[in-house]
Amino acid sequence: MKVGDKAPNFTLKNTKREDISLKSLVENGKVLILFFPLAYSSVCTEELCSTRDNMKLYNSLNANVVGISVDSFYTLREFKKSNNINFTLLSDFNKNVSTQFEAIYDDFFGMRGVAKRSAFVINQDLIVEYSEVLDEAGKQPDFKKIQEALK
């Protein structure tokens, strides 16, 4: 998924088992989608807690922040609770959305179909305005560039 592409509308379950669609996420402004490999891993926890700590900035940019991983919504619910995550987490357990966004590992330490650490900014027309897919899971997205894309 590259800048200028139309993002597919998708529907995934949140930590309350509610269906959330991309169209509903962009109703009030741009959405920042953060794909992350696995809940409770050190780099993912660092990334999402840093995002949590910067929610005032994202709110001021009228951005709806969403984290997506292939973990079950049960796991994501406990991860969200234990880390006081203050934004939506969605389960792509069946790996459909990660695959559509071309943000998925064929092999991640012997596990197949784990989401790559990625960031996408999607506008209200479902057009990708920022795209960053990291092959190295130990790196963080470029949050300064993300914030520029959200302005």
Q: Which two tokens stand for residue 97?
A: 């959305």
Round to whole Å and give the CA distance between 151 and 123.
Answer: 11
Bridge-based pairing state of the strands 88-91 and 64-69: parallel
Listed in sequence order, the residues at least 6 apart from 9 whose beta carbon sits closer than 8 Å to its beta carbon are: 21, 22, 23, 126
Three-state secondary structure call for residue 74: helix
Listed in sequence order, the residues at least 6 apart from 148 whose beta carbon sits closer than 8 Å to its beta carbon are: none
Question: Are 138 and 43 a contacting pair, CB within 8 Å?
Answer: yes
Distance of CA 76 to the CA centre of its chain: 12
* Residue numbers annotated as active site: 44
Would you mind telling me the total number of residues written for the chain in this entry? 151
